[in-house]
Chain A
Amino acid sequence: MSHSSIEIAPPATLRRTMSLNGIGVLLALIVVMALLPFVASPYVLLLMLPFVGYGIALLGFNLLFGTTGLLSFGHALFLGVGAYTAAVFTSKLSILSFEIILVVSALLSGLIALLIGALCVRYTKIFFGMLTLAFGMLFHSFLYKFYAVTGGDQGMRVLRPLLLGMEWRGGKTAFLTGPFYYYTLVLFAGMGLAMWRITQSPFGLHLRAIRENAGKAAYVGVEIFRMRLSAFVISAIYGGIGGVILAVTTGLADPELAYWTHSGNLVFMAVLGGSGTFAGPAIGALAFVMLQDFVMAITQYWRFVMGGILVLLVVFMPRGLAGTVELLLSRRGREA
């Protein structure tokens, strides 16, 4: 039997080698960062730490947003959970082990995500976004109002943790730009690799199928609720760990970390970098951190400028930085 009647012209092929949609870009970025202490000033290195924190959080955020198609407006909640775990452990419980803090904040974030996700992931689109926003605001109010526990608007101090059970001497900057810098960089690489495996697994494929067409996915046996909830929990764990790094960097767990505008920043970073690629959101985090630093240095109206940039971005570069570069590369590849 002939199938000729349903043949079509082959579409232009994308060159795989040119794809930014791999783990390679992220690892290359991490290698460059590992070499940075030899050339860059402590100021730049201190700027890289929030990037690592946001980068890890964004890897998780994008599993939910880019891979599963769920846009959360309350994801800063989990950064808050991580930050306050670090604060409570170091300044209230005097448990300084960074490893214990990481494990506990991952568990706590995952547990909280399991509870609120069980409700949120039953909804999609704006309803999911609103519910996550609501939970984020609840948590922010809790941090803000329970002064005795959380320090309210003052926040809580985060003391210097022990890395691998060791106490590190030297000033704050030396600690942050030395051992802490490398520690978090290794963590970033490890969590990047883990996330890469997740996106390349049958589990990750089911998440993409849900994003593409949840109705059909159910008919080919995809357990929509379970998969969405798993993605929510994993993304929360990444958020919690990112939050710990942010809090240790600033030495403070602040309720603003869990405020909804901070969730908005996470969305901004994902869109800026390009949620359609693996490394895009992390690149977005880097661009955001540097852009914010640059704009804040020149004007007090930095939010206004950042808003304007977001508008231009959505209109002219809807695929974000990584997506746009990939598009340009694939065009050149096709012409060649």
Chain B
Amino acid sequence: MQPQPVTANVPLFETINVSKAFGGFKALSDISFSVRADEFVSIVGPNGAGKTTLVNVVTGLLRPTSGEVRFLGRDISGVGPVELARLGMSRAFQLVNIFPALTVRETLAVAIASRLRRASNPFRSLKRDGVLQADAERVADVLGLRSKLDKVASTLSQGEKKLLDIASAFALNPAVILLDEPTSGVSTADKHVIMEVLVEAARAAGIRAIVQVEHDMDLVERYSHRIVALQGGSLLADMAPRAFFADPAMIAAVVGTRAKL
């Protein structure tokens, strides 16, 4: 299902006064922010600020205690991952998250088969499905995995696994993609390669917005259009990178000192 077109001023998705409590612990309080078309938004904050909780709420893994999450004008609080994928929001995870025994081609085919609704007939051939196979190759091309199509995922390098994880999120043709530390656990040299591939691929694949959680301030500064900073579960800032990095107080609040991580 293709997402509905949206005008530039209507947010692709937004959270409205979202709070999330785990027992007595308030992980998020009253967070409102929005993401518009063609934006690359970074969510930053020290450990325990609530970044991952926010992504989990936004992607329907957790239901907010109060408040609303809207995607393309529709309340999606707690809809669950399958419905979310169908609506056009996909997610890649902080830790490498692959199907170890499947090849790159098969991994992409899993996502494409769900998007094309191919999985309900158990007697349909996977190999002879030209549309599905061509699409797997297209996505692999976009993320530079073409030469790895028939490699088993567990034999890939760490950087390639990360790309594969992201590629399978891309294969859903989402409107918005959420990346939880897309470069964590990857060497510094690979980080920039991955980010370059990612941004280029998102453009080529027609993804309308990227939201990432990121610790590496170099990457945040270089790629974001906007920074959403969290501290202790509350919204600290929602501003352009230039303004953010010009404010020593902001940087100190988020990373202590401006050290490279």
Q: Which residues of A contact B (CB under 8 A)?
A: 1-3, 5-8, 10-11, 194, 197-198, 200-206, 208-209, 212-213, 215-224, 227, 230, 234
Judging by beta carbons under 8 Å apart, are B124 and A203 in contact? yes
Closest to B100 in A: A212
Taken together as a complex, chains A and B put the C-alpha atoms of A215 and B99 apart, in Å, by: 10
Q: Does B214 contact A (CB under 8 A)?
A: no
A209 and B169 form a contact (CB under 8 A): no
List of A residues within 8 angstroms of B5 by Cβ: none
Chain B residues with CB under 8 Å of A209's CB are 99, 102, 107, 110
- Cα separation A205 to B127 with both chains bound (whole Å): 11
Question: Among the interface residues A2, A213, A221, A223, which one has the most CB atoms of the partner chain B within 10 A?
Answer: A221
Q: Which of B128-149 contact A (CB under 8 A)?
A: 129, 132, 144
Contact flags B9-42 to A (C-beta < 8 A → 1, else 0): 0000000000000000000000000000000000
Residues of chain B having any CB pair with chain A under 8 Å: 59, 80-82, 84-86, 90-91, 93, 97-102, 106-107, 109-111, 113-115, 118-127, 129, 132, 144, 151-152, 155-157, 159-160, 163, 165, 168-169, 171-172, 187, 189-190, 193, 196-197, 200
Q: Determine whether the beta carbon of B169 is less than 8 Å from that of A8.
A: no
- Contact of A6 (CB < 8 Å), options: B99, B102, B120, B157: B157
Q: Are A201 and B114 in contact (CB under 8 A)?
A: no
Total cross-chain contacts (CB, 8 A): 134
User: Are A1 and B196 interface neighbours, CB within 8 A?
Assistant: yes
Residues of A within 8 A of B121 (CB): 201, 203
Residues of B within 8 A of A227 (CB): 119
Task: Contacts A1-B193, A6-B163, A8-B157 known; list 12 others, CB within 8 Å.
Answer: A5-B190, A197-B123, A197-B125, A201-B126, A203-B121, A208-B102, A215-B97, A216-B99, A217-B99, A219-B91, A221-B114, A227-B119
Residue in A7, A208, A218 whose CB lies within 8 Å of B82: A218
On whether the beta carbons of A206 and B125 are closer than 8 Å, the reply is: no
**In the complex, chain A residues whose CB is within 8 Å of the CB of B97:** 213, 215-216
Residue among B82, B125, B151 with most chain A CB within 10 A = B82
Q: Are B190 and A212 in contact (CB under 8 A)?
A: no
**By the criterion CB–CB under 8 Å, are A5 and B189 in contact?**
yes
- Give the distance to chain B from A234, nearest Cβ to Cβ, in Å: 7
**A–B Cβ pairs within 8 angstroms, 25 of them:** A1-B197, A5-B190, A6-B157, A6-B159, A8-B156, A8-B157, A198-B123, A201-B121, A202-B113, A203-B119, A203-B121, A205-B102, A208-B102, A209-B99, A209-B110, A212-B99, A215-B97, A216-B165, A216-B168, A219-B81, A221-B111, A221-B172, A223-B82, A223-B114, A223-B119
| A1-B142 Cα distance, complex, nearest whole Å | 13
Interface centre among B100, B102, B190 (most CB of A within 10 A): B102
B193-A201 in contact (CB<8A): no
Task: Say yes or no: B90 contacts A219, CB within 8 Å.
Answer: yes
- A7 CA to B157 CA, complexed, in Å: 7
Most chain B Cβ neighbours within 10 Å, of A3, A10, A215:
A3
Bound form: Cα–Cα A234–B59 in Å:
33
Q: How far is the CA of A224 from the CA of B59 in the complex (A)?
A: 17
Residue among A209, A213, A223, A224 with most chain B CB within 10 A: A209
Cα A8 to Cα B190 in complex, Å, equals 13
When C-beta atoms are compared, the residue in chain A nearest to B114 turns out to be: A221
**Contact call A200/B110, Cβ cutoff below 8 A:** no
Give Cα A8–Cα B125 distance, bound, in whole angstroms.
32
Task: Give bound CA distance, A216 to B172, whole Å.
Answer: 13
Q: Which residue of B lies closest to A203 (CB)?
A: B122
Nearest-Cβ distance from residue A10 to partner chain B, whole angstroms: 8
* Given A200-B126, A202-B132, A227-B119; A219-B99 close (CB under 8 Å): no
A216–B161 Cα gap in the complex (Å)?
13
Tell me the smallest distance from the CB of B132 to a CB of chain A, in Å.
7
CA distance A17 to B126 in the complex (A): 20
Docked CA distance A3–B87 (Å)? 32
A205 lies within 8 A of B123 (CB) = no
With A11-B155, A221-B86 already in contact, the answer to whether A201 and B99 are too (CB < 8 A) is no
User: How distant is A44 from chain B, measured CB to nearest CB, in Å?
Assistant: 35
Contact between chains at B124 and A205 (CB < 8 Å): no
Instruction: Decide yes or no: A220 and B126 within 8 Å by CB, A203-B120, A213-B97 being known contacts.
Output: no
> Cβ of A198: which chain B residues have Cβ within 8 Å of it?
122-123
B85 and A201 within 8 A (CB)? no
Find out whether the CB atom of B126 lies under 8 angstroms from the CB atom of A221. Answer: no
Which residue on chain B has the smallest CB distance to residue A215? B97
CB distance from B252 to the nearest CB of A (A): 33
B159 nearest CB neighbor, chain A only:
A6
- For B161, the closest partner residue in chain A by CB is A6
Asked, given contacts A198-B123, A221-B86, whether A6 binds B110 with beta carbons under 8 Å apart, the answer is: no
Residue of A nearest to B92 (CB): A219
- B101 contacts A220, C-beta separation under 8 Å: no
Q: Which residue of A lies closest to B156 (CB)?
A: A8
Interface contact A220-B85, CB-CB below 8 Å: yes
The residue that A201 contacts in the complex, of B90, B122, B163, B165, with Cβ under 8 A, is: B122
In the assembled complex, the Cα of A262 lies from the Cα of B35 at a distance in Å of: 58
Q: Which residues of B contact A213 (CB under 8 A)?
A: 97-100
Q: Please, which residues of chain A bring their CB within 8 A of the CB of B123?
A: 194, 197-198, 201
Asked if residues B126 and A212 are in contact (CB atoms below 8 Å), the reply is no
Given A1-B197, A3-B144, A202-B132, are A217 and B110 neighbors across the interface (CB < 8 Å)? Answer: yes
Q: Are B85 and A216 in contact (CB under 8 A)?
A: no
